[in-house]
Chains A and B, each alone.
Chain A
Amino acid sequence: MSKKVTITIDGRRISAHEGEKLLWVALDSGIYIPHLCAIRGQDRPPAGCRLCFVEVGGRLGPVTACTEPIREGMVVRTRTPRVDRLVETAFRLLLSDHRLDCKNCTKNGRCELQVIARERGLGPDRDPLQPLPAKTYIDESPRTFVFDPGRCVLCGRCVWVDQQVAGVGAIGFSGRGIRRRVTTFGDSNLAESPCTECGLCVEVCPVGALFFKLPAKKTKGDS
């Protein structure tokens, strides 16, 4: 194990192992940094959601905490005007592509977008960005869960657990740009894919894109 170093986050002195990624060090010390795509233990974090910006002393611009290894004497600020502005823009961009319907969403109250909004005081009101056309297709084919791409934020956690943890390989990314999406081979239903319904992907989904069917609905579907 590498040696322990001491860093300062928002004025708090924290000691942790050198080289550990800043995001996890902060979260473990109870300091919140917004994040969606990062997965603990990943060798090279995807750094795709662009939410975990912080400012580090000696660095010109904001950096992503998920990719930043800690070193002795590092001084970190999680809230600066520059950081707040970037996080707000990234959050609003994600929200513009997320079908907002919290009332009817099973993740209501546990959704990580809601956590970010609460922590950073961001609401859907006064949003200058027009929502993008929502994806309407919903895959209800699995016995135990539902996939709703209209709510997906493309964090990639489900793909990671499916391929790296469960070792199934039922889902992956396809397309590019605005057409990038989580999908099965040939865009088939999940029921026709190698999916084993282990449920790991549903557990890691930070939003309501993957959710377990309610027991009542399940019986209805079975009958």
Chain B
Amino acid sequence: MQEKDLIPVLERIQKKYGYLPLQALKSVARELGVPAVQVYGAATFFKQFRLNPPGKYQIEVCMGTACYMAGGQVALDSFERRLKIGVGETTPDGEFSLERVACVGCCNLAPVAVVDNVVEKNVTPTRVDGILLSLGLSEENKENKENSNAQGK
């Protein structure tokens, strides 16, 4: 393994664990013979890498130009409102994580979201509710979450 293999190696680790555990980054640095902080730098630089475990369901809302103009922000707001998390966060129960992606190249279906690698088209606030419902976020759960959040505060 050489320094130039760093990105592919990190990609493999993320594929295996879903994220990049700090411990793994340390071992990679040792293997490559570079300072650990350099590996950490690369891991925090690229959008594809995450340092925390993702949710069971990963929701990525497209923020390409066409999607943005067609209501991508509204869709993102709706997900945030329903899941009560912000972009880059995971729900406390580890079920959902929410991300923003630059462009998935399906501009004529805008606004789109990628839910567990499947492209969902015309994501209106109603569709957001539909998607979340199909993934098991029921009204009841929503209430529970609200309650637990309230308690958390």
Contact = CB atoms under 8 A, between A and B. Distances in A.
Q: Note whether A and B contact each other (Cβ less than 8 A).
A: yes
Interface in B30-58: 34-41, 44-45
Interface residues of B, number: 14
A210 B13 CA distance: 35
Contact of B38 (A172, A186, A194): A172
B14 to A, nearest CB: 17
Nearest to A186: B22
Given A185-B26, A186-B22, A169 B36 contact: yes
A178 B38 CA distance: 19
Contact of B40 (A163, A172, A176): A172
Contacts of A168: 35
Contact of B41 (A170, A172, A193): A172
Contact of A173 (B22, B36, B39, B41): B41
A141 interface: no
Interface string A176-197: 1000000111100000011000
A185 B45 contact: no
Nearest to A184: B37
Interface in A15-66: none
B36 A174 contact: no
A174 B40 contact: yes
A155 interface: no
A171 interface: yes
A40 B29 CA distance: 28
A124 interface: no
A220 B11 CA distance: 47
B63 to A, nearest CB: 15
Contacts of A194: 35
A81 interface: no
Given A169-B35, A174-B44, A186-B22, 9 more contacts: A169-B37, A170-B37, A172-B38, A172-B41, A183-B37, A185-B22, A185-B35, A185-B40, A186-B40
Interface of A: 163, 168-176, 183-186, 193-194
23 contacts: A163-B35, A168-B35, A169-B34, A169-B35, A169-B36, A169-B38, A170-B35, A170-B37, A171-B37, A172-B37, A172-B38, A174-B37, A174-B40, A174-B44, A175-B44, A175-B45, A185-B26, A185-B29, A185-B36, A185-B37, A185-B40, A186-B25, A193-B37
For the complex of A and B, list the 6 residue pairs with the smallest distance between their C-beta atoms, beginning with the closest: A169-B35, A172-B37, A185-B36, A174-B44, A185-B37, A174-B41
